[in-house]
Chain A
């Protein structure tokens, strides 16, 4: 069974810092990997989707990479802002979707 792990579980950084969130998965037979953001008590907002044949995707200050052979993905956030504070989840898509438990990010003004 696919297992998805996200490290760290929580992260607190001062405003303006660049940061990296990590996601690892055990089965490399995936269709894609998706990064989401979740604000407290809310649904998930899709940030980036990386297809299995791709190495990275960029959207604004966000850059996500995928190394399928090693079972790893990173989400890079440049010049962090207080509005980036949220929980970030990664999900891999195989015969179904598997989610990690997320990284709770706090950006301190």
Chain B
């Protein structure tokens, strides 16, 4: 148990569906992250929020829309996805971005399958 929870753990959706992934951290951290993990590829950073402000968006397609209503919650809204978006989506949090002791803690992930 890392203090970062994600729901749902598994999600199957059609290309025309709209769904949302939820992440919650109970660690009092200031930054939250969304990553995509595909087979045989390094983790890809999608979005970074620091103190609820989005500070990083690595050219992610607009069919992925993040939302950070407060420092403990992070959402990833999904719409009109493609089969190649099927992957493990991981949420992480950390206390102090941009410092030498900034340690990331990850949730268990949501396994997304797009049909």
Identify which of B42, B102, B105 contacts A100 (C-beta below 8 A).
B42
Residue in chain A with minimal CB distance to B107: A43
Main secondary structure of the interface of A (DSSP, over half): strand
> Once the chains bind, are A43 and B109 in contact (CB under 8 Å)?
yes
Q: Does A88 contact B (CB under 8 A)?
A: no
Additional pairs, 4, CB under 8 Å, beyond known A43-B108, A46-B2: A31-B100, A43-B106, A43-B109, A49-B103
Main secondary structure of the interface of B (DSSP, over half): loop
> Once the chains bind, are B104 and A31 in contact (CB under 8 Å)?
no
Interface size on A, residues (CB 8 A): 25
> Once the chains bind, are A32 and B108 in contact (CB under 8 Å)?
no
**Which residues of A come within 8 Å of B, CB atoms?**
4, 31-32, 34, 36, 41-46, 49, 51-53, 89, 91, 93, 95-101
